[in-house]
Structure 1
Amino acid sequence: MRFSGTDDYVATEDLTVAVNAAVTLERPLLVKGEPGTGKTELARQVAGALGLPIIEWHIKSTTRAQQGLYEYDAVSRLRDSQLGDERVNDVANYIKRGKLWQAFEAEERVVLLIDEIDKADIEFPNDLLQELDRMEFFVYETGETIEARHRPIVIITSNNEKELPDAFLRRCFFHYIRFPEMEVMKRIVEVHHPGIKQALLTTALTQFYEIRDQQGLKKKPSTSEVLDWLKLLLAEDLSPEDLRRDGASALPKLHGALLKNEQDVALFERLAFMARGQR
């Protein structure tokens, strides 16, 4: 069971090594990187390539670790008891199974995605240590222990918004997805926009990387954003000459696909103003 990328996902050699190492070690794979570098999609592609189902747990700021195991709905049970509902005699009727429980009881091995773990409270990763390590947990309301039938392939993503606890990091295999270089980006674009003219692609990507390298940029455009931008350029049937900027405008064509806040737009407008002043 080895991952080597897919036709729809360009995986670098170090990324495929990381995925296969985590599978071999039976450790969660912790993937960090800028937003838009394909961390979430990696889990889906691993599942597809290995022919496994995927269970996705998308973390929010309000998500608690317990929700991944199960939740006990005591309020519904109290209401049903007042109404004389016979369901109250079995507490299991009020247990809602979480994503980890679903992964543990699956009939076959699955890929479990824990997406954007750094959005949750700082204690969230520590609260999952034992369950991810032992692949089991105890349900206090029913007195049963839930053990994983098949150890899932666990892929955890983080946008690096906050530090994760050392105890959690020790239990993971770590990989940082670096932002793609020009040649890798060309391969990624070819997957999404096959047959794009090389002259247009080179001109557009050169401009894109110049924007990313601009000092003072608040939010650098990501891979997903350059793919959207190229889609617009193709839809408008623009040529490499159409993309060339003069001193009057430092903003790229259709810049709304790349620059996502007014500060960055203002930065490029100031650059254009300064360029005109030097003429």
Structure 2
Amino acid sequence: MKFSGTDSYVATDDLKVAVNAAVTLERPLLVKGEPGTGKTELARQVSAALGLPMIEWHIKSTTRAQQGLYEYDAVSRLRDSQLGDERVHDVANYIKPGKLWEAFAAPGKVVLLIDEIDKADIEFPNDLLQELDRMEFHVYETNETVKAVNRPIVIITSNNEKELPDAFLRRCFFHYIRFPDMDTMRQIVEVHHPGIKQALLTTALTQFYEIRDQQGLKKKPSTSEVLDWLKLLLAEDLEAEDLRRDSTQALPKLHGALLKNEQDVHLFERLAFMARRGR
């Protein structure tokens, strides 16, 4: 069972090695990187490439680890007991399986995505240590143990907003998705916009990387944003010549696809103003 990328996802050699190493070790793969670098999409592409079903658990700031195992609906049981419902005699009727339970109980191997784990409370990763390590957990209300029928391929993503506990990191295989260089970005663009004119692509990517390298930028544009920008350029039927700017035109055309806050827009406007004054 080897991952070698897909036609719709450009995976670098080191990323392929990381995925296959995690599968071989039967360890969760912890993937970090800038937002928009394809971390979540990686799990979907691994699922597609290996022909495995996928279960997605998207983490929010309010998500608790227990929700990934199961939730016991005591309120509904109390209400049903007041109404005389026969279902109250079996507590299992009020146990709702979580995403980990779904993955453990699946009849075959699955890919389990735990997306943006760093959004949750700092204790969230620690609360899943034993479950991810032993691939089992206990349901106290029914006194049963849920054990993985087939050990799932677990892919965990993080935007690096919080430091993760050392004990959790020890149980993972780690990979950091570096931001694509120009050549890799060309391959990615070709997947999403096949046949794009090379002159337009060269000019657009040159401007894109110049923006990313600008000192003082609050939010650097990501891979997903340059793909959106190119989609707009193609929709407007623009040529490479249409994108060319002089020093007094700091903002690129349709810059709203790349710059996502007013501070960064003002930064480039100030650069253009200073260039005009310096003439």
TM range (shorter): over 0.9
What residue ranges of structure 1 are gaps of 5+ in the alignment?
none
- Answering whether residue 28 of structure 2 is matched by residue 36 of structure 1, we say no
Counterpart position of 2:61: 61
Counterpart position of 1:225: 225
Counterpart position of 2:171: 171
Residue-pair matches, total: 279
Rounded Cα–Cα distance in structure 2 between residues aligned with 1:121 and 1:4: 34
What residue ranges of structure 2 are gaps of 5+ in the alignment?
none
Please report how far the alpha carbon of residue 105 of structure 1 lies from its aligned counterpart in structure 2 after TM superposition: 0.3
Counterpart position of 2:134: 134
Rounded Cα–Cα distance in structure 2 between residues aligned with 1:250 and 1:206: 13
- Secondary structure of the 1:66 match is helix
Counterpart position of 1:203: 203
Give the TM-score of the pair, scaled to structure 1: 1.00
The CA deviation string for residues 228-256 of structure 1, in whole angstroms up to 9 with x for no partner, is: 00000000011111101123321000000
Rounded Cα–Cα distance in structure 1 between residues aligned with 2:11 and 2:69: 32
Give the TM-score of the pair, scaled to structure 2: 1.00
Please report how far the alpha carbon of residue 36 of structure 1 lies from its aligned counterpart in structure 2 after TM superposition: 0.1
Rounded Cα–Cα distance in structure 2 between residues aligned with 1:186 and 1:104: 39
Rounded Cα–Cα distance in structure 2 between residues aligned with 1:278 and 1:105: 68
Matches within 5 A, 1:185-264: 185-264=185-264
The CA deviation string for residues 206-245 of structure 1, in whole angstroms up to 9 with x for no partner, is: 0000000000000000000000000000000111111011
Aligned-partner residue type, residue 138 of structure 1: H
Q: Which runs of 4+ in 1 moved over 6 A?
A: none
Rounded Cα–Cα distance in structure 2 between residues aligned with 1:250 and 1:49: 42
Counterpart position of 1:270: 270
- Answering whether residue 93 of structure 2 is matched by residue 86 of structure 1, we say no
The CA deviation string for residues 107-143 of structure 1, in whole angstroms up to 9 with x for no partner, is: 1000000000000000000000000000000000000
The CA deviation string for residues 11-45 of structure 1, in whole angstroms up to 9 with x for no partner, is: 00000000000000000000000000000000000
Rounded Cα–Cα distance in structure 2 between residues aligned with 1:10 and 1:116: 21
- Secondary structure of the 1:175 match is strand
Rounded Cα–Cα distance in structure 1 between residues aligned with 2:245 and 2:68: 51
- Two-structure CA RMSD over aligned residues (Å): 0.4
- Secondary structure of the 1:9 match is coil
- Secondary structure of the 2:56 match is strand
- Secondary structure of the 2:217 match is coil
Rounded Cα–Cα distance in structure 2 between residues aligned with 1:36 and 1:249: 27
- Secondary structure of the 2:230 match is helix
Rounded Cα–Cα distance in structure 2 between residues aligned with 1:152 and 1:44: 14
